[in-house]
Amino acid sequence: MRGSAVLVTDSQQVSAWRVVRDVVETGSPAERAAVLAEQSRLIRRSVLAMIGRAQAGHIGGDFSVTDVLATLYFGVLRIDPARPDAPVRDRFILSKGHCAASLYSTLAFSGYFDPAALDTFMGPHSPLNGHPNRVKVPGVETNTGPLGHGLPVAVGEALGARLLGHDSRVFVVCGDGEMQEGSNWEALMSAAHYRLANLTLVIDRNRLQQGDRTEETNALDPLADKLAAFGWEVREVDGHDHTALLAAFAPAAGTRPVAVIANTIKGRGVSFIEDRVEWHHKVPSPDQIALALKELA
Amino acid sequence: MTLAEAATAATYDNRAAFADELIERARADERVVAVCNDSVGSSNLVAFRQEFPDRLINVGIAEQNMVGVGAGLAAAGLIPFVCAAGPFLTGRALEQVKADVVYSAHNVILCGMSPGMAYGELGPTHHSVEDLSWLRALPGLDIVVPADRHQTRQAVRQAAADPRPTYIRVGRYKVPDVTAPGDRLERGRFQLAREGADVTLIGAGTLVSRTLAAADLLAADGIEARVLNAAYIAPLDVEAIRAAAQTGAIVTAEEANISGGLGAAVALTVAAQGGGPVVRTLGLSDFAPTGSTDMLLEYFGLTAPAIAAAAREALAV
């Protein structure tokens, strides 16, 4: 099915990705943090441009998850963007598929496709739909968009890797509001039951959902206690601290699956967008984009 | 098959054929796994579990997770057969079927067990009569409704070898053979079960033997009915339907709701080309009352005499 993908590997960009990967793998802690912060800045600027062009998108969630994505793709996932279908590879699923702009930017900067394609985001017949489609975009593992889908699929991938004897790890990012979906709690039970230590769930805990604060809508706290009670190894970190994220994404300590609660700020990186419910999917004006780009300079 | 033959014919459980073939596939290909929702018994997976304990993934009573896990297993490179009673597989997990399996083009084989009104007195919550309508709306999903044990085995064999997402309806109650072991189940084709040019009867699954018996009743009146076994509902056999439109009338029969299943597909195809004959679609149009499967099939006019009567009426229009 991947044969019908319109987008293909950009080898020049893969080389650029490898240079950054090398720094993260061999550099000092300070160098590591610096290059990941730079990738995050580039992703946020790209998201801003994409949403400005498309006049649509989900800027708040894109910005809260950016540092998680940059850390995973430039520092953690054992992937080869030149061979997106390699049978043995780490898997990543963005369950909160509405934050496609940040995923597409990350994939493009990793070399899965030419970053020039980002200009077509949500345009007519673009492979870059408002929600990711694996058939059209290399690097996307499964189609997401409706909430509560990514974690069950990730459980299947983790089980499958074990059955096939692959040492792949599976990472899935859910929004915190998304943890209100019942399907996620079905999957949390399964992952613990099968002791899927090769599975890491990252919860983008920005405490806002489309209409209000999560705790004012359908409270999630005490989230860490709930996940622990479901049999998960829980790690809680600052979701914008690349060094802390790198540590949190280390393999499981034992046989339990790992849940990383990444405490984040929705809209992180642009002062007037940060932690405001109205910026869930509001589109910035040209003046606001200019201001935001200054803050992300 | 004549009515007399049907009354005395040996009957077979499609679930048994399904289970036997699934075990054969699993022996032949270590990527074949089964996923279920606490339905090891009702999905006939006990023997599979005995032989392949690690390859039977029972997620418990959690159908949304079950279908998502199936998609993930396929994404990892396995060939999952996701088995659950039809209404819960296709109803509870419909969005997972749409987004995770079909839209994502993952190689998952969805096995709707005990479909139609097999659960008789358990009532409409347990009847799977909406599945064909719901699933026909998903582009790219093959829908197979095997009519007997031979077709059931072939459906399983073909699905294991084909990378496309597939839905197989696996009947619960025993039905007579309507095909021979050597007959080929062709993807996207109706099987010609009886020649005839006066009227065409198109049956699916459990209703194929009843449709053949209806053809016998019509033959006694001098009406030669063509009988088509609609083992594949998607892709749809448009060619066979257009040929059927050259006969005097078309009657479809399915153990499913008529708004969206086989009959609707046939009627739409005939209407779109214009100038076609009357199309009568037999099936459910309401939630079933309390009753056995046999009683309910009679209640909804899904017996050989009722199918024959519908054909006579259609020809008389």
pLDDT at residue A6 in the model: 79
Q: Distance (Å) from the C-alpha of residue A38 to the closest C-alpha of chain B?
A: 32
CB < 8 Å to A157, chain B: 72-73, 75-76
pLDDT at residue A13 in the model: 98
Give the best residue of A153, A172, A196 to mutate against chain B (max B CB count within 10 A).
A153
The reply to whether residue B77 touches residue A87, judged by beta carbons under 8 angstroms, is yes
- Interface contact A90, partner B, CB < 8 A: no
**CATH architecture observed for domain B186-316:** 3-Layer(aba) Sandwich (3.40)
Give the three-class secondary structure for B1.
coil
pLDDT at residue A1 in the model: 37
Kindly list the domain boundaries of chain A, sorted by start residue.
2-295
For residue A248, which of A277, A224, A271, A226 has the smallest C-alpha distance? A224
Residue B253 main-chain phi, psi, to 5 deg = -140, 125
Q: Distance (Å) from the C-alpha of residue A75 to the closest C-alpha of chain B?
A: 22
* Mean pLDDT, all residues of chain A: 96
Contacting A with CB below 8 Å, chain B residues are 31, 33, 54-55, 57, 59-60, 62, 64-78, 80, 95-96, 99-100, 103-106, 163
Judging by DSSP bridges, how do beta strands B232-234 and B249-257 pair with one another?
Answer: unpaired
Secondary structure string (H, E, C) spanning chain A = CHHHCCCCCCHHHHHHHHHHHHHHHHCCHHHHHHHHHHHHHHHHHHHHHHHHHHCCCCHHHHHHHHHHHHHHHHHHCCCCCCCCCCCCCCEEEECCHHHHHHHHHHHHHHCCCCHHHHHHCCCCCCCCCCCCCCCCCCCCCCCCCCCCCHHHHHHHHHHHHHHCCCCCCEEEEEECHHHHCHHHHHHHHHHHHCCCCCEEEEEEECCECCCCEHHHHCCCCCHHHHHHHCCCEEEEEECCCHHHHHHHCCCCCCCCCEEEEEECCCCCCCCCCCCCHHHCCCCCCHHHHHHHHHHCC
The reply to whether residue A189 touches residue B62, judged by beta carbons under 8 angstroms, is yes
Contact A151, A95 (CB under 8 A): yes
For residue B212, which of B256, B147, B156 has the smallest C-alpha distance? B147
Work out the average pLDDT over A47-53: 98
User: Is the pLDDT score of A3 beyond 50?
Assistant: no
**CATH architecture observed for domain A2-295:** 3-Layer(aba) Sandwich (3.40)
Of A134, A187, A193, the CB nearest to B68: A187
**Amino acid, res. B15:** R
CA-nearest residue to B165 within chain A is: A1
For residue B116, which of B153, B80, B146 has the smallest C-alpha distance? B146
pLDDT at residue B4 in the model: 57
The reply to whether residue B105 touches residue A146, judged by beta carbons under 8 angstroms, is no
pTM for this entry: 0.96
Residues 140-169 of A with CB under 8 A from B: 141-146, 148-149, 151-161, 163-164, 166, 168
Instruction: Measure CA of the first residue to CA of the last residue in chain A; give whole Å.
Output: 40
In chain A, the percentage of residues whose pLDDT exceeds 70 is: 98
Work out the average pLDDT over A133-151: 97
pLDDT at residue B13 in the model: 92
Q: Give the C-alpha separation, B149 to B172, whole Å.
A: 11
Q: Give the C-alpha separation, A219 to A213, whole Å.
A: 9
- Interface contact A297, partner B, CB < 8 A: no
The reply to whether residue A183 touches residue B69, judged by beta carbons under 8 angstroms, is no
CB < 8 Å to B31, chain A: 164
In the numeric block, the tokens 């345009």 are attached to: A123
The reply to whether residue A152 touches residue B60, judged by beta carbons under 8 angstroms, is no
The reply to whether residue A160 touches residue B72, judged by beta carbons under 8 angstroms, is yes
CB < 8 Å to A144, chain B: 99
Q: Distance (Å) from the C-alpha of residue B68 to the closest C-alpha of chain A?
A: 5
Q: Give the C-alpha separation, B312 to B317, whole Å.
A: 9
The reply to whether residue A187 touches residue B65, judged by beta carbons under 8 angstroms, is yes
Classify residue A41 by burial, with Cβ atoms within 10 Å: 0-12, 13-18, 19+.
middle
> In angstroms, what CA-CA distances link A103 with A66, A112, A170, A227, B281?
8, 11, 16, 26, 48
Contact B97, A178 (CB under 8 A): no
The single-letter DSSP state of residue B89 is I
Q: Distance (Å) from the C-alpha of residue A271 to the closest C-alpha of chain B?
A: 36
Size of interface A-B (CB pairs under 8 A): 114
pLDDT at residue B6 in the model: 62
Instruction: Measure CA of the first residue to CA of the last residue in chain B; give whole Å.
Output: 28
Kindly list the domain boundaries of chain B, sorted by start residue.
10-176, 186-316
ipTM at complex level: 0.95
Q: Distance (Å) from the C-alpha of residue B260 to the closest C-alpha of chain A?
A: 25
- Mean pLDDT (10-residue bins), chain B, 317 residues: 65 96 98 96 95 98 98 98 98 98 98 97 97 98 98 98 97 95 95 98 98 98 98 98 98 97 98 96 98 97 98 97
Kindly report, residue by residue over A12-33, the tens digit of the pLDDT.
999 999 999 999 999 999 999 9
Kindly report, residue by residue over A228-274, the tens digit of the pLDDT.
999 999 999 999 999 999 999 999 999 999 999 999 999 999 999 99
The reply to whether residue A149 touches residue B73, judged by beta carbons under 8 angstroms, is no
The reply to whether residue B75 touches residue A187, judged by beta carbons under 8 angstroms, is no
Give the three-class secondary structure for B298.
helix
Give the three-class secondary structure for B87.
helix
- Interface contact A178, partner B, CB < 8 A: no
CA-nearest residue to A193 within chain B is: B59
CB < 8 Å to B68, chain A: 149, 151-153, 155-156, 183, 187
Say which residue, A144 or B4, is predicted with more confidence. Answer: A144
pLDDT at residue B28 in the model: 98
**CATH architecture observed for domain B10-176:** 3-Layer(aba) Sandwich (3.40)
Q: Distance (Å) from the C-alpha of residue B85 to the closest C-alpha of chain A?
A: 18
The reply to whether residue B69 touches residue A190, judged by beta carbons under 8 angstroms, is yes
For residue B201, which of B131, B248, B140 has the smallest C-alpha distance? B248
For residue A159, which of B227, B58, B199, B257 has the smallest C-alpha distance? B58
CB < 8 Å to A145, chain B: 99
Cα-only R_g, chain B? 19
